[in-house]
Amino acid sequence: MIKIKTDAEIECMRKSGRLTGDLLLYLEKEIKPGMSTKMLDRLAYEYITSFGATPSFLNYAGYPASTCISIDDTVVHGIPSDDIIIREGQIVSVDVGVILDGWQGDAARSFLIGDCSEDKVKLVNVTRECFFKAIEHLSDGTPLGDIGYYVQTHAEANGFSVVRALTGHGIGREMHEDPSIPNYGRKGTGIRLKTGMCLAIEPMINAGTYKVDFMRDGWTVKTQDRKPSAHYENTVVITNKGAEILTL
């Protein structure tokens, strides 16, 4: 069931979203070659809890960390580890979730570490563009399928592919609510968006095939051809004036 938020509830989500976005800005300043992904995760935990909030991901269905940190061919859900060291030339995607006063914020960024190849720079930039291409068309009454259509069209026009095994989602008091939001599809199809819907829209774009492998740890998802992937996500609310981004 899709939950429509009241004005008061949306204001609560603005607060959790603002903290989520600020966290990513903080991590962007702190991330550097030579640090472990576990250290970056520790910084995220300390930041979240210092504001009286809770990491959404920690212990969610048994997940062992406060962030998902995914490097190069890992699409999403990379588990932070003391043994995984961030290196120059990598794409490091950081996905974070925050619960503040019972309301969720969810966002992700792909960071380019140091001097990266032109292909990786393009992949990260196009992934971010896919998000904005999608939301610029959203308003009350827009078909849900339009989101995936604009993401897919822009990604494929630039020679990339769209992950199909994973989707965005509704969000509110729960991190994952209805509806599921594919990053591919046909324009004009699906349910109609309504004012008060809160959505986590998250293009996951691959340099090679759209196919992915799910690792034995039960979380990590890698590209099947082991080529790089990038991830860009924000929580948005549908209003009568369009889509308002809550996590920037």
Write the CATH number for 233: 3.90.230.10
Residue 2 lies in a domain: no
- Asked whether residue 83 is domain-assigned, the answer is yes
- Its pTM stands at 0.96
Query: Does the pLDDT at position 35 exceed 90?
Result: yes
Instruction: Please write the tens of the pLDDT for every residue from 108-158.
Output: 999 999 999 999 999 999 999 999 999 998 999 999 999 999 999 999 999
How confident is the model over 225-231, as a mean pLDDT?
98
Question: Helix or strand or coil: residue 19?
Answer: helix
Can you tell me which residue has the tokens 């939950």? 3
Residue 13 pLDDT exceeds 90:
yes
pLDDT reported for residue 164:
98
Q: Are 161 and 153 in contact (CB under 8 A)?
A: no
Residues of the domain holding 150: 7-245
E strand intervals along the chain: 54-55, 67-71, 74-76, 91-100, 103-112, 161-162, 168-170, 177-181, 198-201, 204-206, 212-214, 221-223, 229-231, 234-239, 242-245
Quick one: tokens of 3? 């939950």
Rounded distance between C-alpha atoms, residue 226 and residue 109, angstroms: 20
The rounded distance, in Å, linking the Cα atoms of 166 and 181 is 9
Mean pLDDT, the chain, as a whole number?
97
What is the C-alpha separation between 135 and 146, in angstroms, rounded?
A: 9
Q: How far apart are CA 15 and CA 247, in angstroms?
A: 9
Q: Is residue 123 part of a domain?
A: yes
Query: What is the model's pLDDT at position 157?
Result: 98
Section 53-72 average pLDDT: 98
Q: Is the peptide bond before 64 cis (omega within 30 degrees of 0)?
A: no
Residue located via tokens 């069931």: 1
Does 1 fall in a domain?
A: no
pLDDT interval class at 240 (50, 70, 90):
confident
d(CA 162, CA 166): 10
| 3-state SS, one letter per residue, for 196-217 | CCEEEECCEEECCCCCEEECCC
| Domain contains 11 | yes
Rounded-to-integer distance, Cα 165 and Cα 167, Å: 7
Q: Over pLDDT 90: what percentage of the chain?
A: 98
Cα–chain-centroid distance for residue 200?
Answer: 7
- Asked if the model's pLDDT at residue 105 lies above 90, the reply is yes
DSSP 61: G
Q: Give the 3-state secondary structure of residue 36.
A: strand
Per the structure, how many domains does the chain have? 1
pLDDT at 137: 86
Which of 203, 181, 202 is CA-nearest to residue 191? 181
Tell me if 82 is assigned to some domain.
Answer: yes
106 inside domain: yes
Q: For 230-238, what is the mean pLDDT? A: 98
- Does residue 213 sit within a domain? yes
DSSP codes joined into one string, 117-146: -HHHHHHHHHHHHHHHHHHTT--TT-BTHH
